[in-house]
Structure 1
Amino acid sequence: MPIEILMPALSPTMEEGTLAKWLVKEGDTVNSGDIMAEIETDKATMEFEAVDEGVVGKIIVAEGTDGVKVNTPIAVLLEDGESADDIGDVSAPKEEASSHAAPAEASEDTAPAKGYGRGETEAPTARSTEGGDRIFASPLARRIAKDKGLDLSQIKGSGPKGRIVKADVMDAKPQAASSALKADAPAASAPAAAAMASGPTTDQVRKMYEGREFEEQPLDGMRKTIAARLTEAKQSVPHFYLRRDIELDALLSFRSKLNKTLEPRGVKLSVNDFIIKACALALQQVPEANAVWAGDRTLSLKPSDVAVAVAIEGGLFTPVLKDADMKSLSALSTEMKDLAARARDRKLAPHEYQGGSFAISNLGMFGIDNFDAIINPPHAAILAVGAGAKKPVVGEDGELKVATVMSTTLSVDHRVIDGALGANLLNAIKDNLENPMGMLA
């Protein structure tokens, strides 16, 4: 029977996307691995690959269509012996969009994938199990389960990584229709909806500016995601803030000497490279603070995976430098430059910007003296870094001197890190930056 190709979830946070471009047309034969389309997610443009072979019988969603919900049919693939006459009514989108409440951590199932095709779509169903685990099932298995009234959460999958496949549902006995399935779906997207709905409505704001010249700028997927996630974070995460001034003269002198040594290798260290290293080491020095919030518990991490905010047109990325405490300054510098360049081109894979326990947001290069950053869940803290500036300070000998001082603010999730623990973490960061040679020991 003809198989529907569904809009895939190309990242754990993806709810909808833009079908940017079809690279096949109706009647084309596709083989496993062929690129069928380009899809714009909330973060990047990614290629959509076929995992099976067949003939494109019908393209349901035209290229350039935005707001296509995850699990919505976008095309139909015909197998041998089938024709367009075998295609039924597939024009109406199905209400199977993935839940915004699904776990945000990257997994082996979703992170590095380039795309999915017929029968192998790894898009999550519209509900999760009571333990919070997403249910993975092939489109065919999902359709058979729906026809038979089966609850997929009660079926054990035999496919790769536990995916539910056709064989798992064919012999399963029908169960009573689960009202919880229908009840959970609208509730799952409530946090994002509530976040976007806060404040006056669009019509109310328009009326405020009647008679004034303005131009409406619709939100793209990235802007919608930023608005929803950070509104939710600011409303639900109990932030508190710790501030320290850090003297940079020793670091600047040490950096100058290192850069002269590294010049033949084409490496030039930035102050931000030292900040990344200092934060990564501090998470090892204060391991209790190297944790994330996981709903009803915390997860204590062993590695220092540090995210760094990178501004791009229309939004930002937070690529993650994994095991940053174990890497040299030159390795961190090279990796950060690569991640930042690919972030600006929106070429990062999901596993490269998801995860980590700690983040850095540096606006010093824009001349900002200090600011308070919003925590990006599930992180427990984010360091806001201001510009270094010459200021009068009192030395240890009581004498007044001029030093280069950088203002920092640590935003902390009080559910994970208490005041004294947060202070210890920020003090460790300060000590590392003011004694930079110690970071090489």
Structure 2
Amino acid sequence: MSLRATQRPIILGLRQNAAQFFLLVAVNALVGGMLGQERTVLPLLAESEFGQQAYTAALTYILAFGVAKAATNYFAGTWSDRHGRKPVLVAGWLIAVPVPLLLIWAPTWGWVVAANVLLGISQGLTWSTTVIMKIDLVGPARRGFAMGLNEAAGYVAVAVTALATGYLAEAYGLRPAPFLLGIAYAALGLGLSTLLVRETRGHARLEAANHVARADGRHDHLHQELSNRQVFTQTSFREPALSSASQAGLVNNLIDGLAWGLFPVLFAAAGLSVGRIGILAALYPVVWGFGQLFTGALSDRWGRKWLIATGMWVQALGLALIALADAFTWWAVAAVLLGAGTAMVYPTLLASIGDVAHPAWRARSVGIYRLWRDGGFAVGALLAGVVADAFGIRAAVWTVAALTAASGLVVAVRMYETHQRRTSAPSAPQGGANG
């Protein structure tokens, strides 16, 4: 029996698919919460309970997470095209279930690293799939807004959970209380994904069948049928917008790996309490998260390129302030700058990938972009750890600030504007794509 015969009529558009879209927003909030359970507590656990003194050794869990998530992102896109989106999403939640239990019971640091390998695989499958499914549902007109909502849900949940685990750790200790939230998130995410989420691959097929080429002919060489190798090459190196987005995504998560692994240690060394460290750990992703509610939609009006370039430069400024400051108030200002810059970049990069990649291979391109982007966690953990061990944490922050400013320059020079306003494009074949 055909897909159309077994499902409701397939229509593109945010309004037409609102129930499924906002269900996926909620699911991605739970995905973010699984990541947030670690943000405040694990850097402190590394030293206090597991004796990880060297920064490079302590950051092994972020390195393991980044490598696992980056590799899984690639396969998530391929598997989503081959087997459908929903099975990949459910598999990701199944893999997430043991993570908080391993963190609670871990007798050695190796257990923590193993838990983060599972967390990386889970995040690669679940977060990638919710991104792909939302792009499928909304069609071309509201892509930036859709990505803003998706990433906002995920990173507000990271922030709220980081804040909550900081207070739980201060009140009840570093284990097990903070990780009980993770158990609840995994159970709820698995239940919603299994019982209520519907497959969206048919929406991508509908868009592919009615795909409208750019008026300037820029994408004429990007045919509907590309091999996996061709998609990888175009996304990573050859296509100017896709490759610019990939390098910017890598540097962006390099910043996040630094913030996750070393900022709590820097703040603790300055004498801040666990509760105040939790506030700072939450402030960056909460501004990032809520900011995306606006920046994603703005990219649909203003375009993608200059939001991305400016966002990278704002993040570089925030990092410089982190390195210069030595007090809670200035670190809070820096965290706001970091969050604002990341909000300008994060959903806009995903939207630009959706603009350029043909619907027939878009899921694979999203997976490859996210491979590079989340590879930034691993690069950030390794680079920050090595530089911090050799020259101190502040030197590591300065190094990443310089790389971030350079990444913004690459976008400004190499990337073209990917967003084409579709006021003149035929609307009928899209089945309401402008809704």
Give the shorter-chain TM-score range.
under 0.3
From the CA coordinates, give the structure whose radius of gyration is larger: 1
**Structure with the largest fraction of strand:** 1
**Structure with the largest fraction of helix:** 2
Q: TM-score, normalised by structure 2?
A: 0.25
Q: TM-score, normalised by structure 1?
A: 0.25
